[in-house]
Chains A and B, each alone.
Chain A
């Protein structure tokens, strides 16, 4: 396969190296690297004396920024403090509204009954009865499992971050469509940002702003903004030219054209962007608990670290349910069509949803004065009073029972699970890990570099070299290799599981109808959730980490395989049939080769997601780059965390450029670009 991948155009004419076959070039590089490491220790470990103390410089620089720097006479720390204070205000208001209450005027927070009713009524308005039931059940779950307040704490940041990220994204998106310079700067930046894992954003923001909700908010907004910007660009660029021209011929000024014609016409795409913003926000908020976000993510992290799995499951289900509800609500809203106004309907009939909500809101505020349970859901449900009291439901008790059940299960299951885990760890994981740790860096650099040069020519080669040397010369080789090893093993497993599933789905409508919705749902959950089953079954360690990565990162492997196969033009397949190929021959000789570029893009996504998830597994203990980020935030030594975050992104960029160049070239050869 590699043979075919090398585009001949990058081969310089008359260059003697090109006379050597490709495998020979790789072999030469590997042998050279290994030999070098035998004679020079510096090829195994970058010599201590040569390490550039970039981490220290960054830490010092941030110290300097925070203590001495001034911009135009204003102290830098005052600027960050100002931004922090400005952002604190909306967070405060959201807190007052959702769970603190407006102490100053003696008004309580929104009673939970009102919030729940509001969500259900909105769901009914946008999506009908089924969505309303889903939302209703979720609200009841949050209330009965004693998770209401934590959910509201999480939602505090969500409801502040979503509008900010959406506005920022729309603004930047508009700017990009109107200015060539902006487009040249921001378009690659958005690509880059979307390939950057959550974790990478945390350290730099935490470095500039104090630990707390504002830091979480800023990181979340930055993380969630790019999809909105991209959807805005896409939406504005795909408005039908007739509509734009009709606007121009109606005598619109440029501004009117944008606000009255282009933006409203791309409402659907913008709303799908909003959906992504909401989902990204939620995913980030739960992770941002390490940088000071309170709420469900914070509690879940704590439960996991304490191995209180019963509670963790309850909290994890809550996060998942919230994710599903937010996803369905925003999607339903995006696809909602306004019907024409039917004359003869009364005001009440037209605004029944709104009026119902307002009624419940007022009623629940009044009722909350008399019944505490209207305000905050009770922590346990009790029937009767005095001696005749029976506890109907107690989430804490249930969690304890679950803990016990999991423990009992583990006692039994560990006899089976542990040997498997240990076998895999000893015979597969550790050898691969040791291999990567042994690997002399010249071999790694040489192999990747040669691949980059053959696939993408000079620009890709230079980019990859710069990125690779950035973690070598700063002394992050070991951590980076640990991450690389985890990601590669996880990605390989994802491909082994995902590609056959994708093929199966592409061949059978029935299977597709089962697998694809599952994929959708798996992608809806914030990645954090996947730590729970991993810990439950395997405790901590690399095996658990990989297990956590799988469900999250297999999805693109399945989906791209499925789409790649589905998109093959029927003539191509029919040609195979006409030539008398068997089903298997057709699959391996026609369909898979044609779909391969698409499948490789799936692999690319899988690697990105594995990378993101690997970093997150640091929350339950790992010793790679992700851990550096987590530790830097708790020790306030931000240099290492910022660099580690950057290197996680760097690995993603290297993979993306290599695979992306290959797929683009291959698609060009196949004429399906």
Chain B
């Protein structure tokens, strides 16, 4: 996984209220929840620090009102954070001039909205071409580019439809096509599928994975749906009351939740698709018969392990050496998920 940080956030605060700046200053930039409550301020984002790495899919989760939207609206400067630091590729996001901000949004950032945010008076083609139009790109160029995007999201042939003539799923495809039209480097999606019914949502998730496999963008994605998150995420950040309580890989969240709140989220996760063999293997044993790769998800090797009398040896694919073993018991508990599986976790 690439590791150079594309976006850096440090000690980000977004407080709503009459005089948020003064409030934070009075409390030396770190008010207690009681102070917030007492003085009637809302700490939508509180002291959040994290990086978004080049090319990763970072998913942000949390209950309603936990500050997810506010957080990415701070990064995109739709809302200015009250205090904190943000960098994009080494540039201070908060020191951008109006013009630079517009340029950044025109060329680097793309965003998809929960309620699509389509312009009702423009047809599909004009909606998708809109970001290009405001940049002043010539009509011929933007039509070509928009058409390509429309084909990419599978809406070819509906260029002249108006948003109200499209289904929810189709409208969101337009939203996606529009956000991709400028070939952004980083793509923000705020609950893009939550307004859609479950069948279409599943279809759109697959669509999204297909697009990402072609585009390899850096993505910050908000969702309520842990299953959706595990399907897509490289890393998941869990927010609670404005704070980022844990930011880790899905596997770590499932195996090692920071607190009960996170555990609650991870409870219904499809472990067999998240946890890899290497994470739960036990020490090497001579009794092993057969091998499984260390990075395989346990779902993929479950049949082999469960039908084997003996433990199965675990192989590190990169070096080819045997690094551990895994038996029926471990696989069963980690799939069917009593928390005690943590105890059997290998170093």
**Residues of A at under 8 Å CB distance from B?**
240, 242-243, 245-253, 256, 260-261, 264-265, 267, 337-343
Contact = CB atoms under 8 A, between A and B. Distances in A.
Given A249-B78, A253-B134, A243 B117 contact: yes
A387 B122 CA distance: 65
Contacts of B102: 251-253
29 contacts: A240-B115, A242-B114, A243-B117, A243-B120, A245-B78, A245-B113, A246-B111, A246-B116, A246-B117, A246-B118, A247-B119, A249-B78, A250-B105, A250-B130, A250-B178, A250-B182, A251-B102, A251-B131, A252-B102, A253-B102, A260-B119, A260-B130, A260-B133, A264-B120, A265-B119, A265-B120, A265-B121, A341-B123, A341-B160
Contacts of B110: 249
B162 interface: yes
A247 B182 CA distance: 13
Nearest to B102: A251
A267 to B, nearest CB: 6
Interface string B158-182: 1011101100000000010011001
Contacts of B88: none
The contact size tier of chain B is: 35 or more
A247 to B, nearest CB: 8
Given A251-B105, A251-B106, A264-B119, A338 B162 contact: yes
A340 B159 CA distance: 9
Contacts of B122: 264
Contact of B134 (A240, A251, A265, A342): A251
Nearest to B76: A249
B177 to A, nearest CB: 12
A616 B123 CA distance: 48
Give the top 8 A-B pairs by smallest Cβ distance, nearest first.
A251-B106, A246-B117, A242-B117, A250-B131, A249-B111, A251-B105, A341-B160, A264-B121
Interface in B20-64: none
Nearest to A240: B115
Given A250-B178, A337-B164, A341-B160, A245 B117 contact: yes
A251 B162 contact: no
- Most A CB atoms within 10 A — which of B103, B117, B178? B117
A160 B120 CA distance: 30
Contacts of B182: 250-251
Nearest to B116: A242
Contacts of A265: 119-121
B109 interface: yes
Contacts of B161: 340
B135 interface: yes
A548 B118 CA distance: 49
Nearest to B106: A251
A526 B78 CA distance: 47
Interface in B137-165: 158, 160-162, 164-165
Given A251-B103, A253-B134, A265-B121, A339 B165 contact: yes
Contacts of A264: 119-122
Nearest to A267: B121
- Most B CB atoms within 10 A — which of A250, A338, A340, A341? A250
Interface in B90-119: 102-103, 105-107, 109-111, 113-119
A340 B160 contact: yes
A253 B109 CA distance: 15
A15 B131 CA distance: 65
Contacts of B118: 243, 246
Contacts of A251: 102-103, 105-107, 131, 134-135, 182
Contact of A340 (B119, B165, B178): B165
A240 B117 contact: yes
Nearest to B181: A250
A341 B125 CA distance: 12
Contacts of B175: 246
Contacts of B107: 251
B76 A256 contact: no
Contacts of B130: 250, 260
A654 to B, nearest CB: 35
A252 B134 contact: yes
A252 B130 CA distance: 9
A337 B179 CA distance: 26
B134 A256 contact: yes
Given A247-B119, A249-B110, A340-B165, 12 more contacts: A242-B114, A245-B111, A246-B117, A249-B179, A250-B130, A251-B103, A251-B107, A260-B119, A264-B121, A265-B120, A267-B120, A340-B160
- Most B CB atoms within 10 A — which of A247, A248, A251? A251
Nearest to A242: B117
Contacts of B179: 249
Contacts of B76: 249
- Most B CB atoms within 10 A — which of A243, A246, A340? A246
Contacts of B114: 242
Contacts of A337: 162, 164
B78 A248 contact: yes
Contacts of A248: 78, 105
A339 B162 contact: yes
Contact of B113 (A246, A267, A338, A340): A246
B56 to A, nearest CB: 21
Contacts of B119: 243, 246-247, 260-261, 264-265
B162 A242 contact: no
A283 to B, nearest CB: 30
Contacts of B78: 245, 248-249
A248 to B, nearest CB: 6
Contacts of B162: 337-340
A260 B105 CA distance: 17
Nearest to A341: B160
A248 B102 CA distance: 8
A653 B178 CA distance: 51
Nearest to A253: B102
A138 to B, nearest CB: 31
B134 A250 contact: yes
A252 B106 CA distance: 8
A480 B127 CA distance: 58
Contacts of A253: 102, 134
Nearest to B179: A249
- Most B CB atoms within 10 A — which of A247, A249, A339? A249
B205 to A, nearest CB: 21
Given A249-B105, A251-B135, A252-B134, A242 B113 contact: yes
Contacts of B165: 339-340
Nearest to B135: A251
Nearest to B121: A264
A91 B11 CA distance: 64
A252 B123 CA distance: 18
Interface in B271-305: none
Contacts of A343: 160
Contacts of A267: 120-121
A534 to B, nearest CB: 46
A240 B116 CA distance: 10
Contacts of A240: 115, 117
Contacts of B135: 251
A340 B121 contact: no
A249 B120 contact: no
A247 B103 CA distance: 13
Nearest to B109: A249
A264 B73 CA distance: 24
A8 B82 CA distance: 40
A240 B78 CA distance: 14
Nearest to B132: A250
A248 B134 CA distance: 10
Contacts of B123: 340-341
A256 B135 CA distance: 10
B294 to A, nearest CB: 42
A242 B119 CA distance: 10
A253 B135 CA distance: 10
A260 B134 contact: yes
A437 B210 CA distance: 84
